[in-house]
Chain A
Amino acid sequence: MKYKILTLVVLIILCGAFCAGTAYLPEIGDPQSVPNNHISDYYIEHSEEDTASPNIVSGTLADYRGYDTMYETSVMFVSGLVVTLLLAVNQKKDQQKKRKYDVTEKVMGAELLRPVETSKLKGIMNHPFGGIIIDVSARLIVPFSMMYAMYVLAAGEASPGGGFQAGAVLALGMVLGRLMKGEKASFKIPGAVAVLLAGIGAFFYVFTGWLSLFNGGMFLEYGAMPFPISYHHLHEAGIFMIEAGVTLCVMMTIVGIMEALLKREDFEEKD
């Protein structure tokens, strides 16, 4: 109780301090404010000729600060990998037996494994839940959403959009098929392979950096990639390549996480 009151006091002080701090922040949209006058001007004036992207956001994200985006992609991959390692890896048999856990294990004061009534879980995800209406309508949705994803990817360097969104929409098609058809889905990727492919997608991004490095440029310097095209096109190609890598990584991470969750449920049912 004592700690809870202390926590509350600290929280109130923090909230108050940060709210009071907003008074000293520059106004939103003020053209004279400090952040709008330092390097933003450079981005606005030079983005198009530097990065060959008419969209300043894409140009900054994928070119000026492409190095950050590379690690953001890797972060996606790590999250997928950790979920797969923790949930989908079939633990040893003795641990499986333990998982009947009618007993609530108390570890460090926290209830670790609550007893789960597996009967309630049955039929939520592992078994297909498609009826004829869902089946037919999904057949319409999936191809178009996939095509849209390819458009978002291809237009990524020119307009809002790009790899992250394209990957998510592509994964949507696969997730939808898997949820409706269950084990019978015609296009499904095992969770471990999906994570592996996510790693390859992220590597494709790093590989773009290696290309320019081996050709005598700095890391991720698209202008130095070894293709016989103009500076402008090299940047377009570079941004497209990294977007493609991001797409593969994001899509496969989502598929991997879904497969891990489904597999987790498999274990629980078998117990």
Chain B
Amino acid sequence: MRHDREVLLIMIMNHLPVLAVVVPLSAALLSLLLSRINKNLGKAVVILSLVFAFLDAVGLTAQVLQAEGHLIRYAMGNWDAPIGIEFYVDPINALLACFITFIAMCASIYSLSFLKDREWLQSGGYYTLIALLTVGLVGMTLTGDVFNLYVYLEISSLSCYGLIALGGKRSIPAAFRYLLIGTIGASFYLLGIGLMYAMTGSLNMADMGELLQSQMDNPLMYLVCASLIGAFGIKMAQFPFHAWQPDAYAYSHPGASPLISGAMSKVPALAMIRFFFFIFGVQNLVIVDATRLIGILGALGMIFGSVMALNQTDFRRMLAYSSVAQLGYIALGIGIGNLYGVTGSYLHILNHLFMKGGLFFAIGAIQYRFGIVNINQFGQLHKKMPFTCFTITMGALAMVGIPPTGGFFSKWYLMMGAMDKHLYIYMAVLVLSSLLNAIYFLRVLEKIFIAPEARLADRFDKEARRDGAAAKKHFLEVPAVMLVPIVVFGIGIVAMGIFNSQIVEFVAQTALKGVF
């Protein structure tokens, strides 16, 4: 027995990269069957699989940090790299996989209260989509094959369209618009890798990177860069390609919106970093031009997103426009294109995942209890929902970039990068955008803490009236399954700030040192 357990453990340790995606995939595919048998079984299996995926990703990060050369390559079907498909795990994508599976795990637990009284098909289908979205995102982060990345992009996008469309009556046009634009993005990606295949004859990232070095003066490289900027720009909702994003984020299913807004846009951003810095190499002239373009678009997006966010009264739309601005920070870091800039970019990917995830968890809870999303109705909300308001406050402080929250440090690295390259205009944009962030987030905090109390229809009061004396007593502001993710993310935002030096030192720098 003991021997068996050891064998199993060794097996798991050897296959960590693939298990992180295959376990949730298996759970997703079986979720409908299990839900048909028992409604709760399907949910439970998906949640457990996501918990396993999270632990697996943590183990993988630990493993890759100790591995020789900080690199793990896993060949699918035992076909070695250029012949078959491989997973190429380095510290930066292993850590992002950790974060994605963590937010997916929290979102799947959080969604329980939204799906209590649904039929088996709906609840099973919803959990299938959550798990498949996670599979797609984790796969996109870990894969070392450009076409495999396309397949993962497809699976994550399709499940994301589904989750957005399930959000209610205004969500269908939003999902449909995202479907059209997202498909164009995916086509651009396919064009890009088609051109790269024509130049190299390989689909493996590492192999392709080596072969492309002699072809950097080929005019096709300009088309490749344009295609990739278009593709990842659309997928991460970078400034001129963001039109689908505010509606999609605002009207998606409230249980899934933390995952969609937190993780969905970050993975293409990391893919962009991987393509431009790890595969192409920043020393080439065409790549310098391309990253400069990304940086300029990012800077424009930072101003544009912040100004548009000022104009919103729907909290979710405000967050969505603020995401356009925050993705601009990430693009700015890519545009700065030195060690500090990309470190800041990477750190901001992780930070923003926590900030936006936490804020969407919070607004989902407010919507669940009071049915409101309008900022003007938030008066004195901190009395009714103290923990949720704690998370909103932390998220707001991190967005503005106030220490010790994580947001400060990513902006700090971006500043240092811009300083190093004497890009003073970027520094001005960073400061300006932070000030605009401060305006619109402090407006929300003002409503919550200072504005007079708003009269709201409380879900719990309604339940109490309906059930009379038999009504459940509520000790918590929202059900515990919702409250735990909210509080965890509120603390996580601060923890990101405290542990940022470890992340930079052990993860970002070790992986990025080889590039610059």
Contacts from A to B (Cβ < 8 Å): 17-18, 21, 24-26, 34-40, 42-43, 63-68, 71-72, 74-75, 77-79, 81-82, 84-86, 89, 95, 107-108, 110, 112, 192-193, 195-196, 199-200, 202-203, 206-207, 209-210, 213-214, 216-224
Contact in complex: B77, A66 (CB < 8 Å): yes
Closest 3 pairs between A and B when the two form their complex, measured CB to CB = A38-B201, A35-B201, A82-B162
Tell me whether A39 and B201 are in contact in the complex, defined as CB-CB below 8 angstroms, given that A107-B173, A218-B75 are known contacts: yes
In the bound complex, what is the Cα–Cα distance between A210 and B15 (angstroms)?
11
B41-84 interface (Cβ within 8 A of A): 74-79, 82-84
Stretch in contact with the other chain, from B91-99, B190-198, B270-278, B329-337? B190-198
Residues in chain B near residue A79, CB distance under 8 A: 158
- Least Cβ–Cβ distance between A269 and chain B, in angstroms: 21
Tell me whether A78 and B159 are in contact in the complex, defined as CB-CB below 8 angstroms, given that A200-B33, A206-B22 are known contacts: yes
Tell me whether A221 and B33 are in contact in the complex, defined as CB-CB below 8 angstroms, given that A24-B220, A36-B201, A213-B15 are known contacts: no
Judge whether B510 is part of the interface by a CB distance below 8 angstroms. no
Contact in complex: B83, A219 (CB < 8 Å): no
Judge whether B25 is part of the interface by a CB distance below 8 angstroms. yes
Contact in complex: A85, B200 (CB < 8 Å): no
B66-123 interface (Cβ within 8 A of A): 74-79, 82-85, 119, 121-122
In the bound complex, what is the Cα–Cα distance between A222 and B166 (angstroms)?
38
Contact in complex: B125, A85 (CB < 8 Å): yes
In the bound complex, what is the Cα–Cα distance between A220 and B15 (angstroms)?
12
In the bound complex, what is the Cα–Cα distance between A203 and B84 (angstroms)?
22
Contact of B29 among A64, A203, A213 (CB under 8 A): A203
Residues in chain A near residue B79, CB distance under 8 A: 63-64
Contact in complex: B200, A84 (CB < 8 Å): no
- Least Cβ–Cβ distance between B233 and chain A, in angstroms: 13
In the complex, the chain A residue whose C-beta lies closest to that of B77 is A220
In the bound complex, what is the Cα–Cα distance between A64 and B132 (angstroms)?
23
Judge whether B223 is part of the interface by a CB distance below 8 angstroms. yes
In the bound complex, what is the Cα–Cα distance between A110 and B33 (angstroms)?
37
Tell me whether A199 and B29 are in contact in the complex, defined as CB-CB below 8 angstroms, given that A35-B201, A219-B76 are known contacts: yes
Residues in chain B near residue A222, CB distance under 8 A: 77
15 examples of A-B residue contacts, CB within 8 angstroms: A24-B219, A35-B200, A66-B76, A67-B148, A68-B147, A75-B155, A78-B129, A78-B162, A81-B162, A199-B28, A210-B26, A218-B76, A219-B15, A220-B76, A220-B77
Tell me whether A196 and B36 are in contact in the complex, defined as CB-CB below 8 angstroms, given that A78-B129, A203-B30 are known contacts: yes
Residues in chain B near residue A24, CB distance under 8 A: 218-220
Q: Which of A40, A107, A217, A219 has the most CB of B within 10 A?
A: A219
Contact in complex: B220, A21 (CB < 8 Å): yes
In the bound complex, what is the Cα–Cα distance between A25 and B78 (angstroms)?
32
- Least Cβ–Cβ distance between A218 and chain B, in angstroms: 4
Contact in complex: A202, B29 (CB < 8 Å): yes
In the bound complex, what is the Cα–Cα distance between A235 and B348 (angstroms)?
46
Contact of A81 among B129, B135, B170 (CB under 8 A): B129
Q: Which of B26, B84, B202 has the most CB of A within 10 A?
A: B84
B287-305 interface (Cβ within 8 A of A): none
Contact in complex: B125, A221 (CB < 8 Å): no
Contact in complex: A39, B22 (CB < 8 Å): no
B1-40 interface (Cβ within 8 A of A): 11, 15, 18, 22, 25-26, 28-33, 36
Contact in complex: B29, A38 (CB < 8 Å): no
Residues in chain B near residue A223, CB distance under 8 A: 78
Contact in complex: A75, B154 (CB < 8 Å): yes
Judge whether B257 is part of the interface by a CB distance below 8 angstroms. no
Judge whether B199 is part of the interface by a CB distance below 8 angstroms. yes
Contact of B198 among A34, A195, A199, A206 (CB under 8 A): A34
Tell me whether A199 and B128 are in contact in the complex, defined as CB-CB below 8 angstroms, given that A64-B77, A108-B247, A218-B78 are known contacts: yes
Judge whether B211 is part of the interface by a CB distance below 8 angstroms. yes
Residues in chain B near residue A37, CB distance under 8 A: 201
Q: A21-B223, A38-B202, A207-B26 are in contact. List 16 more A-B contacts (CB 8 A).
A: A21-B195, A35-B200, A65-B84, A67-B85, A67-B148, A71-B151, A75-B158, A78-B132, A84-B121, A85-B126, A199-B30, A199-B32, A199-B33, A209-B22, A210-B26, A213-B22
